[in-house]
Amino acid sequence: MAATASNVVAMSGSCDLLRRRAVARAVKAQEKKGFRIDYIDGSLQGEMRKALAADSLFFAAQVLVVVQNPDKADLSLIEAHHKKGEQAIILLLHLEEDPDKRTKFGKFVEGLGRAT
């Protein structure tokens, strides 16, 4: 995750155990760096907007937002955050399987590239 220096990272895969383990490692690594960890459900309306607003003056800490069901979240908010390039808030999109590359969301995730 550190090698990509991206503010939006997607983790997906069909093997539940390996995917959850990778997410847990990423969370632990960011906690060690002093990040606050937030978990949100992308299918709940308004959750993404609230998570991305956490960089206000009241919350000076860096935040890792683990997003469950990111394919149901507002893609325009995720894209805008990614284009902004701000590192104070990192979105970790936790996908239960690889997204359909024919959809707008799937194309976006594919454009993020793979972490090495």
Residue-wise pLDDT for 18-45, tens only, equals 999 999 999 999 999 999 999 999 999 8
Q: Which of 16-20, 51-55, 101-105 shows the lowest per-residue confidence on average (mean pLDDT)?
A: 51-55
When the pLDDT of each residue in the chain is averaged and rounded to a whole number, the result is: 86
The pLDDT of residue 43 is 93
pLDDT of residue 55: 58
Q: What is the pLDDT of residue 114?
A: 61
This prediction's pTM: 0.86
Q: Residue 19, class by beta-carbon neighbours within 10 Å (0-12 exposed, 13-18 middle, 19+ buried)?
A: middle
Higher local confidence (pLDDT), 80 or 60: 80
pLDDT at 3 over 70: no
Q: Look at residue 66 in the predicted model and tell me its pLDDT.
A: 96
Query: What local confidence, expressed as pLDDT, does residue 60 receive?
Result: 62
Given the structure tokens 């308004």, which residue do they identify? 46
Alpha-carbon distances of 75 from 14, 59, 70, 112, rounded to whole Å: 22, 24, 8, 13
pLDDT value, residue 98: 86
